[in-house]
Amino acid sequence: MPWKPNAVLFTVFMLYSSSQVVGLGEKQDDDECADLNNTTLREYRQRSVKLQVQYLLMTRKNMDCPQRFDQAALTAPTCLFNISRSTKVIIHGYRALGSKPSWVKDLAQALLRAQDVNVLVVDWVYGASFAYNLVVESYKEVALQISVLINQLQKHGCDLETFHFIGVSLGAHVAGFVGTLFEGNIGRITGLDPAGPMFKGADTYDRLDPSDAQFVDVIHTDSDYFGISIPVGHVDFFLNGGKDQAGCARSRFASILVYFPVYGYVICDHMRAVHVYMSALNGSCQLTGIPCSSYEDFLRGNCLDCDVFKGKCPVLGLSENSGITISPLPKEQKVFLRTTSSAPFCAHHILLQLEVSSLDKSAELEVTLMTENLGTEQRLRLQTDTTVYRTVFAHRSPLCKIDSIRIKNTGARFYRQGEVHIKSVCVSDIPSVRYEEPLCVNNINVRRGAPWSHDFVQVCMNL
């Protein structure tokens, strides 16, 4: 299991790294443009900063220049808030030593490119920057202050169903409590890796849960440390099992002491939910989840369809098939997907099924799916008591673009492995399409050190 620092060490690391990143948020050149707050190191040490909540408004008319927003501003002639449009509310979480969340502007702009809406950014950097346990004590007060603003917007004609809260880490539980205050009548809450410490064993009243909105979807990327490990929405996307994300560095404590800054290391998995969500909003490709009881079962190819969603698999983002149109909604339904290590993070799930003749000793095969110069490989450990193997590939291209499949008998390190007879090797799409037959090749003999390959000639339809 990859090592990660404990909570005490995390606090020490964040104190160091945050002293390097205070003021990370972009400085506005135009005095009329609002900006997020930040807490100075001196204020932190003196604990002189109390909870303050402010709101920034962004629309398609001011994507690069947020307006400060409150109930008084709503009636101002220069206010860009449009009551007839839906409203996205972004809530950040714990902030190390008052550092500004640098991702907020990118997320707001991605939302605005996807839909013509109002985007309200909840800035509670003041109050979110002390010891984590102290910050947790105040998150409900933040929710109360937000609820006051929502009440005012209702009086001006806004419908609760038109609000979509997007909460990051601790901000997800803030959004959840706002939902509790409005008895679950808010339209939607999206939790981006909701905070785990002090919440995993909490009552549903004290954390995000499906009753907080008409639809709650959640992305888990760091459930073994900073994120929560249990499902807390109607649909919970566990990316790469919800734990370690591709492209996030792994290192030992000794290495961390040598190589600074550690800020990116300790939050890479945790913040991957935000970056994947932004990629999903950009719409370059679909990130589709497959319902399954566990990630292990998913990887073994035991979950191939989306019958629980009436055949329409949930997709990350704002599209209609993200799960919100399914009625009745499931609760705490786990769905799994694999991603790549960099934006846009999209991977197509391909099931490989391999049937071999009985072996007298264990063996190892390296299977590679090729698309032009791009290959995705996996190793299969063959045992003497098993003849059928299934595994799920995550490939950047869909199955219909796979040019060839290559199999190499890598054998064993300390003894010579003989020939492996493969009765059949088949590849098919996940989720399975009932009218499409898998691509299969039969009767293959693979000698050690002599790779075998087979070319496919296919045409992608409706892509």
- Which pLDDT score, from 0 to 100, does residue 22 have? 31
Residues 271 and 321 sit within 8 Å (Cβ to Cβ): no
- Which pLDDT score, from 0 to 100, does residue 2 have? 42
463, part of any domain: no
Q: By C-alpha distance, which of 181, 119, 187 is closest to 151? A: 181
Q: What CATH number corresponds to the domain at position 214? A: 3.40.50.1820
* 181 and 320 part of one domain: yes
* 306 and 393 part of one domain: no
Q: How many domains does the chain have?
A: 2
How far from the centroid of its chain's Cα atoms is residue 164's Cα?
A: 17
324, part of any domain: yes
Domain boundary among 337, 363, 393: 337
120, part of any domain: yes
- Which pLDDT score, from 0 to 100, does residue 98 have? 67
* 251 and 392 part of one domain: no
- Which pLDDT score, from 0 to 100, does residue 12 have? 35
* 212 and 322 part of one domain: yes
Q: What CATH number corresponds to the domain at position 423? A: 2.60.60.20
- C-beta contacts of 36-40 below 8 A and 24+ residues apart: 36/100, 36/101, 36/104, 36/121, 36/123, 36/125, 37/98, 37/100, 37/123, 37/125, 37/126, 38/98, 38/99, 38/100, 38/125, 39/95, 39/97, 39/98, 39/125, 39/126, 39/129, 40/98
Domain boundary among 337, 369, 391: 337
* 438 and 386 part of one domain: yes
* 266 and 410 part of one domain: no
106, part of any domain: yes
* 391 and 328 part of one domain: no
Domain that holds residue 379: 348-455
* 87 and 109 part of one domain: yes
Domain boundary among 299, 317, 337: 337
45, part of any domain: yes
- Which pLDDT score, from 0 to 100, does residue 265 have? 54
* 190 and 277 part of one domain: yes
Cα dist. 156→80, 141, 150 in Å? Answer: 14, 24, 10
Name the residues annotated as catalytic: 169, 193, 270
393, part of any domain: yes
What are φ and ψ of residue 241, in 5° steps?
Answer: 85, -5
* 234 and 286 part of one domain: yes
Other Cβ atoms less than 10 A from the Cβ of 313: the count is: 20
Annotate 14-71 with three-state secondary structure. HHHHHHHHCCCCCCCCCCCCCCCCCCCHHHHHHCCCCCCCEEEEECCCCCCCCEEECC
* 158 and 276 part of one domain: yes
107, part of any domain: yes
- Which pLDDT score, from 0 to 100, does residue 5 have? 43
343, part of any domain: no
Distance CA 198, CA 218 (A): 18
pLDDT digit string (tens) for the chain, length 463 residues = 444 444 433 443 343 333 333 333 333 344 578 888 776 545 555 555 567 899 999 999 999 999 999 888 888 888 999 999 999 999 999 987 667 888 999 999 999 999 999 999 999 988 888 788 988 999 999 999 999 999 999 999 999 999 999 999 999 999 999 999 999 999 999 999 999 999 999 999 999 999 999 999 999 999 999 999 999 999 999 999 999 998 897 643 433 433 344 445 578 999 999 999 999 998 878 899 999 999 999 999 999 999 888 888 999 998 765 656 677 888 999 999 999 998 899 899 999 999 999 988 888 899 999 888 788 888 999 999 999 999 999 988 888 888 889 998 886 554 556 788 999 999 999 998 766 788 899 998 887 767 888 887 665 655 4
How far from the centroid of its chain's Cα atoms is residue 147's Cα?
A: 26
* 82 and 219 part of one domain: yes
- Which pLDDT score, from 0 to 100, does residue 115 have? 95
